[in-house]
Structure 1
């Protein structure tokens, strides 16, 4: 289940990033960072399931930072 969710979130992130690079229109940058944060959350949960607590904790910190940046971006625009 987490593997499928990781692939879906990664694909959505890749699509937002590709759109921004191709059109040079970065209006979806906040959404891309949101989905990137959610991808990091899923990766962190997978690492915790594999008993790799240090890497899982690091990914969760990255997730929280990405979610903070995306929410701040949504609120400021």
Structure 2
């Protein structure tokens, strides 16, 4: 189930990134950061299940930083 969620989130994230790049519409960058954070969270959960705790904690940290900047840019 996590692999399917990872695939869906990755496709949506890449699609949004391509849309932003092709249309020069930077108003969706905060949503892109939040989607990247969700993708990193799912990747961290997959690594946690594989018993790779160090890489899982690093991915969780990257997800938190990405969410922080995404929400911060939405507020401003």
Q: What's the TM-score, normalizing by structure 2?
A: 0.96
- Give the number of equivalent residue pairs: 76
Output the CA distance in 2 between the equivalents of 1:73 and 1:11.
23
Q: What's the TM-score, normalizing by structure 1?
A: 0.95
Matched, 1:14 2:40: no
How far did residue 62 of structure 1 move? 0.2
Query: For each residue in 1:12-31, what CA deviation from the matched residue of structure 2 results, as whole angstroms up to 9, or x when unmatched?
Result: 11111001110111111111
Output the CA distance in 1 between the equivalents of 2:73 and 2:52.
32
Which structure 1 residue ranges, 4+ long, deviate > 6 Å from structure 2? none
RMSD of aligned residue pairs (Cα, Å): 0.6
Output the CA distance in 2 between the equivalents of 1:3 and 1:10.
10
Gaps of 5+ in 1: none
- Map residues 1-77 of structure 1 onto 2, 5 A cutoff: 1-76=1-76
